[in-house]
Amino acid sequence: MLHFVPSEFIIPQSMETDEFRLRMLSIDDVDKDFEAVTSSTKHVSKVWPDSDWPDGLTLRQNLIDLGWHEKEFQNRTSFAYTMVTLDESKVLGCVYFHPTTKSDYDAEVFMWVIESELRNGLDERLFNEVQRWLDMDWPFSNPAYPGRTISWDDWESLPEE
């Protein structure tokens, strides 16, 4: 099986700031994750504009999605992190690292925070922390942030490897 990161690379289990923690998204997060996603449908749908997710998301479908993310993490084929408060009482968002086929990039990074936290700048703080984390602790040399540092139209027009 091909891995997204080198086999000797030790996957970071978490990253923590003074206001949130990123850790592996798992099926144990289903209820809190479902609440976060469904309370922020309008904003979350912008993460992947060519998808209809999360329209019509059910708790059961969310459980299936989280199981899929957890298995991909275990297989080292992509990495989904839940963003939680430090006391783990609430999901604030998610961060995803995916392999890419776009030339000149070695990862695609997506993230979102719940709509209620947008006004206080949490999305920008998360983005800055994730960039720093990738620079310091991950083996990627040129991660892409579609919809953030590159427009979706420009991203879609990039050549494949």
Residue 35 lies in a domain: yes
Residue 146 lies in a domain: yes
* 4-57 per-position pLDDT tens digit: 899 999 999 999 999 999 999 999 999 999 999 999 988 888 888 888 788 889
The string over 73-99, giving b where at least 16 C-beta atoms fall within 10 Å of a residue's C-beta and e elsewhere, is beebebbbbbbbeeeeeebbbbbbbbe
pLDDT at 78 over 70: yes
Give the per-residue pLDDT at 3: 65
Paired tokens of 160:
């494949």
CATH code, domain with 98: 3.40.630.30
pLDDT at 118 over 70: yes
Counting the structural domains of the chain, the total is 1
Give the per-residue pLDDT at 154: 94
Question: What is d(CA 139, CA 143) in angstroms, rounded to the nearest whole number?
Answer: 10
Residue 5 lies in a domain: no
Residue 2 lies in a domain: no
pLDDT at 158 over 60: yes
| pLDDT band, residue 120 (cuts 50/70/90) | very high
Question: What is d(CA 152, CA 113) in angstroms, rounded to the nearest whole number?
Answer: 19
Give the per-residue pLDDT at 149: 96
Beta strands in the chain (DSSP E): 14-16, 21-24, 79-84, 91-98, 107-113, 143-144
At residue 54, what is the residue type? P
Residue 82 lies in a domain: yes
Q: Which range marks the domain in which residue 114 is found?
A: 14-157
Residue 31 lies in a domain: yes
Cβ-based burial of 104 (10 A; exposed 0-12, middle 13-18, buried ≥19): exposed
